[in-house]
Structure 1
Amino acid sequence: MERLDDPPDVVIRRLPLYARSLRYLLDEGIHSVSSQELGERINVTAAQIRKDLSYFGEFGKQGIGYDVEKLLNHIERILGLTQSWPVVLVGVGYLGQAIARYDGFHSQGLQIIGLFDTDPQKVGQAVAGVEISDYAHMSEVIRGKGARLAIIAVPAADAQPVADILIDAGIRAILCYAPIILQTPEHVWVRYIDPVAVLHSMTYYLAREHLA
């Protein structure tokens, strides 16, 4: 899905980190920041920050730094955060319920408008004010609400069939918590959150220390 004139995906992944740090700075009453100071907060070099931002225009002034609020506003526009994005969540087990109740979504322009599960005991109940519906209604809700973002929190065996339904209904970006690599068309973006895989990537270093 990435075009030749798009910034590298790794740059896009860093922009939300810049935005979060800039919000913290504003909360602390700091209104001007250098690329060095910003980089120290997120373990990125000042040169990398300047290079990342250069894909989108000129920001800040040499020797003066960045106006925190203006830079934050620029990054939020780049990320499309000046509008609200409807999101559907599939899988309302313990993990799905925790995701649905997370307060940070709404404040950051993300609104969960649909919850779906196959468990008849859950269908009809509400989590965080959103009623749980059966999978049979997914396409109808996605098309009716114009949702293009989805979160998958189902067992690995169910993730691919769910993704197929979502994509057919118009979903173009998926956050997948299932421990599986989804097969999707090129025009669909997928991100994965797999705590076990992340922990295993760190046990390597712990095991190496133990053997040293």
Structure 2
Amino acid sequence: METTAPYVPEPAIRRLPWYLACVSRLRAEGVEYVSSTAISHQLNVDSSQIAKDLSYLNIKGKTRIGYEVKELERGLLDFLGFHREHNAVMMGVGSLGAALMADSGLSRYGLNIVAGFDVNPDVVGTRLGGKPIYDYSDLERRVRELDAEIAVIAVPVESAAEVAQKCVDAGIKALWNFTPFHIKTSPAVAIQNTSIYAHLAVMYNRMPK
């Protein structure tokens, strides 16, 4: 019988990687158990919120002992999908796209960028970090060959909507968008709009005057 994955609110999902980083550090230090209060002190998140977030994953601590660090790390890794490999393609291999393709750290979190796509004839047919750069027009056929399910988008903002739709038409299941354009497409496609510029704006605004 199939089991349904637990529904976890997006704010909780955004906090889970912080918990994972915390417990992974504790596990490396040889700590066996940790309480939600101890995690709270390190992350500045209310301990009751941490306990609630972890309860969505059916992870429960022991009274007066806390959570077993190795078990908690394993449960978080399993839910977040960081231990599974997800093939992705890089749409646009300019400065940002090239940097993301060269970032081997992403593979530690399950993102395997297997190829890039661009319209620039100077880069099409070359390799970046050992990974091929294909012509944008060849996307649909290559996505099937590469068994890619995610597209990372770092194209000029004026091309973002067109590129996103082409990725969806090619069978891509999720889009990680780094352009300032807020992408919307089929409800069946997972979209994560990551605006570096919005984060910069907030940081500048919060800096002491």
* TM-score, with structure 1 as normaliser: 0.89
The answer to whether the 8 A contact 1:89-1:112 is kept is: yes
Q: Tell me the equivalent position of 2:121.
A: 120
Q: Tell me the equivalent position of 2:132.
A: 131
Cα distance between partner residues in 1 of 2:163 and 2:7: 29
161-170 vs 189-198, greater mean Cα deviation: 189-198
Q: Structure 2 matches for 1:1-212, cutoff 5 A?
A: 6-206=7-207, 210=209
* Amino acid in structure 2 at the alignment position of 1:53: L
What does the per-residue CA deviation read over 1:36-63, in whole Å, with 9 as the maximum and x for residues that have no partner? 1112222211101100111121422111
The answer to whether the 8 A contact 2:160-2:183 is kept is: yes
Tell me the SS of whatever aligns to 1:11.
Answer: helix
Residue 106 of structure 1: CA displacement? 1.7
What does the per-residue CA deviation read over 1:160-203, in whole Å, with 9 as the maximum and x for residues that have no partner? 11100111112122111111111211122222222222121233
The answer to whether the 8 A contact 2:183-2:193 is kept is: no
Tell me the SS of whatever aligns to 1:62.
Answer: coil
- Give the direction of change, closer, same or farther, for the CA distance of 1:34–1:142 in structure 2 (3 Å limit): same
Unaligned runs of 5+ in 2: none
Cα distance between partner residues in 2 of 1:12 and 1:170: 25
The answer to whether the 8 A contact 2:101-2:128 is kept is: yes
Identity of aligned residues (%): 35
CA RMSD of aligned residues (A): 1.8
Residue 140 of structure 1: CA displacement? 1.6
* Amino acid in structure 2 at the alignment position of 1:37: A
* Amino acid in structure 1 at the alignment position of 2:92: G
* Amino acid in structure 2 at the alignment position of 1:71: L
The answer to whether the 8 A contact 2:118-2:135 is kept is: yes
Cα distance between partner residues in 2 of 1:42 and 1:193: 22
Unaligned runs of 5+ in 1: none
- Give the direction of change, closer, same or farther, for the CA distance of 1:71–1:156 in structure 2 (3 Å limit): same
Cα distance between partner residues in 2 of 1:201 and 1:166: 30
The answer to whether the 8 A contact 2:59-2:75 is kept is: no
* Amino acid in structure 2 at the alignment position of 1:107: R
- Give the direction of change, closer, same or farther, for the CA distance of 1:83–1:199 in structure 2 (3 Å limit): closer
* TM-score, with structure 2 as normaliser: 0.90
The answer to whether the 8 A contact 1:116-1:133 is kept is: yes
